[in-house]
Chains A and B, each alone.
Chain A
Amino acid sequence: MADMPDKIDREESAEIGRRRKLRNWGLLLALVAFSGLFYAVTIVKLMKPH
Chain B
Amino acid sequence: MNDTAATAGVTNRGELSPLSVSAPSVSSSPAARDMLASESELRDWITLLKPRVLSLVVFTGLIGMVVAPGHLNPVLAFAAILSITVAAGAAGAINMWFDRDIDAMMHRTRNRPIPGGRIAPEAALGYGIFLAGASVMVMFLATNAAAAAVLAFSIGFYVFVYTMWLKRRTPQNIVIGGAAGAFPPVIGWAAVTGSIDLVPLLLFAIVFFWTPPHFWSLALYANADYRRAGVPMLPVVAGPRETRRQIVLYTLVLIPVTLAPWFIGFSGLVYAVSALALGGYFLACVWRVARDRQDADGTSLTNDRPARAAFKYSILYLFLLFGAFALDRIVGVVSLSQLIG
Known: A1-B120, A9-B26, A16-B16. A26 touches B35 (CB 8 A): no
CA distance A25 to B43 in the complex (A): 12
Residues in A with CB closer than 8 Å to B242 are: none
Determine whether the beta carbon of A10 is less than 8 Å from that of B31.
no
Known: A5-B8, A23-B41, A26-B42. A13 touches B21 (CB 8 A): yes
A to B CB contacts below 8 Å, 27 in the list: A1-B35, A1-B117, A3-B31, A4-B31, A5-B8, A5-B29, A5-B34, A7-B5, A7-B8, A7-B28, A7-B29, A8-B29, A10-B21, A12-B28, A12-B32, A16-B35, A19-B39, A19-B40, A20-B15, A22-B42, A23-B40, A26-B45, A38-B138, A41-B79, A41-B141, A41-B142, A45-B141
3 tightest A-B CB contacts, nearest first: A2-B34, A5-B32, A5-B31
Give 17 A-B pairs besides A8-B16, A48-B73 with Cβ atoms closer than 8 angstroms: A2-B31, A5-B32, A5-B34, A6-B31, A7-B8, A8-B8, A9-B25, A10-B22, A10-B23, A12-B35, A12-B36, A19-B39, A20-B39, A23-B42, A34-B134, A37-B138, A41-B76
What is the chain B residue whose CB lies nearest that of A15?
B36
Residues in A with CB closer than 8 Å to B15 are: 17, 20
- The answer to the question of B20 belonging to the interface, with a C-beta cut-off of 8 Å to chain A, is yes
What is the chain B residue whose CB lies nearest that of A14?
B21
What is the chain B residue whose CB lies nearest that of A2?
B34
CA distance A34 to B251 in the complex (A): 41
Give the size range of B's interface with the partner.
Answer: 35 or more
Give the size range of A's interface with the partner.
Answer: 20 to 34
CB proximity of B19 to chain A, nearest CB, Å = 11
Looking at the complex, which one of B32, B117, B141 makes contact with A8 (CB distance below 8 Å)? B32
Residues in B with CB closer than 8 Å to A5 are: 8, 28-29, 31-32, 34-35
